[in-house]
Amino acid sequence: MRVLTAAQMREADRITIEELGIPSLVLMENAGRQVVAAIEALFPNLESRRVAVLAGRGNNGGDGFVIARTLLERVVEVPVFVIGSLSEVRGDARHNLEVLGRLGASVVEIADEQAWELHFSEISQCDLVVDAIFGTGLRQALDGMYPTIVGDLNGSGLPVVAVDVPSGLLADTHEVQGEAIRAAVTVTLAAPKICHILPPAQRVCGELVVADIGIPEAIIERLDGPYVEVITRGVMRSVLEPRDPEAHKGEFGRVLIVAGSMGKSGAAHLAAMAALRSGAGLVTVATPRSVQPILAAMAPEYMTIGLPEDADGQVTPDAIERVLDTASDVIAMGPGLGTGPGVRAFVHGVMERVGVPIVLDADALNAFAGEHARLLAGRDGHDVIITPHPGEMARLLGTTTEDVQRDRVAAARTFAEKHQLHVVLKGHRTLVAAPEGTIAINMTGNPGMATGGTGDVLTGVIAGWFGQLLDAEGASRLGVYLHGHAGDLAMADLGEAALTASDLLTYLGDAVLELSAERTSKGDDHDE
Ligand SMILES: NC(=O)C1=CN([C@@H]2O[C@H](COP(=O)(O)OP(=O)(O)OC[C@H]3O[C@@H](n4cnc5c(N)ncnc54)[C@H](O)[C@@H]3O)[C@@H](O)[C@H]2O)[C@@H](O)CC1
Ligand SMILES: [K+]
């Protein structure tokens, strides 16, 4: 499901209106009626309720006037307030304001703070408030009387249904600058925007409903510019289905895991088992010689290779040849490798000559921190996927974790485009950035997964699918989706605190079965 910017939304509106010929009034009518449909679904026995509609002076307000008219048809008391001066209402909004007038509806103008204070008590007697003050047209943080209005509404305890965007949020950013409506429900039009998907803004949107107002999906899919999309179950099902049964699954399933060091054998084990549980045909773990017998004892399913090591039990550059000579379709390198100087030289050496697609994680990424980052580049035919957590991303970018977290989309997209590789930026709502700048946002997973080893599992899951699909973007998105989904299934049984990385291995199968199952009941809201 595409996530649009305000500009892309306006462009989709424009194409629909000017090229396709659906009048903007029809879009506004659809918008208003879809919001009412959502209200009726979420707030029963509407007929006995009083619903206050607060309308701004732009088209968001226009939606509000349509909503008021539609609610009036359901014999609901609907006091309408224009927030701003009536004279400034223009165009489609003006048209719908005049229609309301002809129906005899009372519209009260609230042009300043005094008027607000005067009418707020009447509004607070209502059961529900429709926020149609600002939508995607908001250009900067609220000022003037608006912060007071938003603050009073947020403090009133009244449920608010936000039209398109909770007023005060800027559609294109996940940040909350100044006061913003805390909505019980946000009914956004045609497609979600960044503010609905990424925290902290996402947290004030309440339940998100994406309303179809008549803008064809094809128009949205065709908008230019690197796009952002939500990883949905529907899209993941298509990735999972064998496009051509003979062409993959098993033929390319040889995964080489280069991981582990003295005291960190578990990371290698978790990555290897995750690859096996993701359908990899053959998994080999290449690990320092003194760690090899320990790993060999941990599981019969994968093979092991002992690598030249230093006194600390970490790989050295002498191990490069051994890794490059081992047949594999995909390599996953990094979990538990350690951070000694020999490790960095080893990682650089492998990267310079590797001939197969590679997933880099953890210590393999730390080897490229700062000035070494320029060595990290994808080459045609040898896709590179990196799976940094915010701290590792910061080291690769030569910046701070706070900077990365302040604008995760920019951090992931910048590095992916500059180094022509795939970035899986982990964290709440993990992002998957492709070299051409597209961003996919994952909605599965939970805080219980912030526990040791879950990153090693993700590396193995991505490598396991990568070896079968040989499509870096598909494997990254599917891996992140299934990893989080397994975590959600595990949490449902075990709770957040008890959840361990090994539990993810146990639930990966269920996650795949659930994904490939035909859904009978309505799925989660990111279903399609
Ligand atoms: N264009 C279309 O065909 C459709 C638009 N729709 C609605 O139109 C909305 C966008 O409408 P508009 O672009 O008119 O803008 P809004 O209605 O979101 O904002 C109203 C006006 O507030 C002013 N404004 C911006 N920032 C401000 C600030 N910080 N303080 C005070 N005033 C500020 C701007 O002049 C803006 O025009 C969407 O969110 C959606 O609700 C829907 O009806 C669907 C169809
Ligand atoms: K709004």
Looking up tokens 């990682």 gives: 347
Residue 521, pLDDT > 80, answer no
Looking up tokens 């990371």 gives: 267
- Kindly give the distance from the C-alpha atom of residue 56 to the centroid of ligand 2, in angstroms, as a whole number: 8
For the CA of 189, the closest atom of ligand 1 is 44
Q: How confident is the model at residue 520 (pLDDT cuts 50, 70, 90)?
A: low
Could you report the per-residue pLDDT of 177-186, keeping only the tens digit for each?
999 999 999 9
Residue 284, pLDDT > 90, answer yes
Could you report the per-residue pLDDT of 54-88, keeping only the tens digit for each?
999 999 999 999 999 999 998 779 999 999 999 99
For the CA of 133, the closest atom of ligand 1 is 17
Q: What is the pLDDT of residue 340?
A: 87
Q: Listing from the earlier edge strand, what are the strands of the sheet with 228-230?
A: 2-3, 228-230, 439-441, 431-433, 422-425, 384-386, 358-360, 330-333, 254-258, 282-288, 303-307
Inter-residue long-range contacts of 217-220, CB under 8 Å, 24+ positions, other chains counted: 219/12, 219/15, 219/16, 219/20, 220/2, 220/4, 220/12, 220/190, 220/191
Q: What is the pLDDT of residue 246?
A: 62
User: Closest Cα to atom 31, ligand 1: which residue?
Assistant: 142
Ligand nearest to the CA of 7: 1
Residue 393, pLDDT > 60, answer yes
Q: How confident is the model at residue 524 (pLDDT cuts 50, 70, 90)?
A: very low
Q: How far apart are CA 293 and CA 121, in angstroms?
A: 75
Looking up tokens 């309408």 gives: 80
For the CA of 24, the closest atom of ligand 1 is 3
Q: How confident is the model at residue 381 (pLDDT cuts 50, 70, 90)?
A: low
For the CA of 63, the closest atom of ligand 1 is 43
Could you report the per-residue pLDDT of 291-307, keeping only the tens digit for each?
999 999 999 999 999 99
Instruction: Record the pTM.
Output: 0.90
Query: At 461, which helix (H) or strand (E)?
Result: helix 454-469
Mean pLDDT, the chain, rounded, equals 94
Q: What is the DSSP letter of 193?
A: B
Residue 323 vs residues 258, 348, 493: alpha-carbon distances, Å: 8, 13, 40
Mean pLDDT to the nearest integer, 40-49:
91
Q: What is the pLDDT of residue 243?
A: 53
Q: What is the pLDDT of residue 525?
A: 41
Looking up tokens 């146990």 gives: 506
Q: Are strands 439-441 and 228-230 parallel, antiparallel or unpaired?
A: parallel
Give the residue among 459, 464, 462, 450 at the shortest CA–CA distance from 500.
450
**CB-CB contact of 96 with 124 (8 Å):** no
Asked if the ipTM is above 0.90, the reply is yes
User: Closest Cα to atom 25, ligand 1: which residue?
Assistant: 138
Query: At 209, which helix (H) or strand (E)?
Result: strand 207-211
Q: How confident is the model at residue 372 (pLDDT cuts 50, 70, 90)?
A: confident
Could you report the per-residue pLDDT of 312-325, keeping only the tens digit for each?
999 999 999 999 99
DSSP 262-305: TT-HHHHHHHHHHHHTTT-SEEEEEEETTTHHHHHHH-SSSEEE
Residues near ligand 1 (Cβ within 6 A): 13, 24, 27-28, 31, 56-63, 134-140, 142, 163-165, 189, 213
Tell me, rounded to whole angstroms, the distance of Cα 265 from its chain centroid: 32
Could you report the per-residue pLDDT of 195-243, keeping only the tens digit for each?
999 999 999 999 999 999 999 999 999 998 888 999 999 989 988 876 5
In the chain, the domains with their CATH numbers are: 2-225 (3.40.50.10260), 234-521 (3.40.1190.20)
Ligand nearest to the CA of 58: 1
Q: How far apart are CA 311 and CA 150, in angstroms?
A: 63
User: Closest Cα to atom 42, ligand 1: which residue?
Assistant: 28
Residue 379, pLDDT > 80, answer no
| Burial state string for 124-133 with b = 16 or more CB within 10 A and e = fewer than 16 | eebbbbbbbb
